[in-house]
Chains A and B, each alone.
Chain A
Amino acid sequence: KAGVTQTPRYLIKTRGQQVTLSCSPISGHRSVSWYQQTPGQGLQFLFEYFSETQRNKGNFPGRFSGRQFSNSRSEMNVSTLELGDSALYLCASSLGGESFNEQFFGPGTRLTVL
């Protein structure tokens, strides 16, 4: 079974631009969660999507948004990029459903904002 894939792996943008990151979950997984990792703040939860609906949201500004498609693939978008948005963005997939399931992480997208 293929693992979680994320594209692109590396990205360089400038302040004010917007960016879209993509995550393809493990086949059969219906939940996708997104996390941001920075040296200063560590790993922080952004949001979770399950069956095309946002089920949970972290404490990030509205510039951070996401969506999930019917095939469970997910995208996250960051608008009006700031220098502080430079980070490793990780997605993780799980079976989803009512009870908590183990999450499997993708390789991440490293975003640099200049």
Chain B
Amino acid sequence: KNEVEQSPQNLTAQEGEFITINCSYSVGISALHWLQQHPGGGIVSLFMLSSGKKKHGRLIATINIQEKHSSLHITASHPRDSAVYICAVVRRTSGSRLTFGEGTQLTVNP
């Protein structure tokens, strides 16, 4: 079993819909990243969080340390949100190295 599990693997939505991507992990962590990867490969860090909730524009990320679970929400989704969203954790015992989930391919149709 992977240390970081994401669901769903694929998600198709209509423009304007509210979207949730989930991430569960099985190890103790220092922090959790949500990353966005567009076709072509470049990765953008959306959030780094170790507790609570963060919001940036239409994106919201939450984490529950006790339940080892994080969610990424996108409100009022738009076709430009189409990308792969990746959850990555920093294990408490591994310094800075990131351990990644398999990613969620999001497609938002107009």
Contact = CB atoms under 8 A, between A and B. Distances in A.
Contacts, number: 62
Contacts of A103: 33, 45, 96, 98
A33 B96 contact: yes
Contacts of A105: 35, 42-45
> A-side binding surface: helix, strand, loop or mixed?
strand
B96 A48 contact: yes
A37 B86 CA distance: 12
Contact of A43 (B30, B31, B42, B100): B100
B46 to A, nearest CB: 11
Interface stretch (B14-22, B60-68, B70-78, B87-95): B87-95
Nearest to A105: B43
Contacts of B43: 90, 92, 105, 108
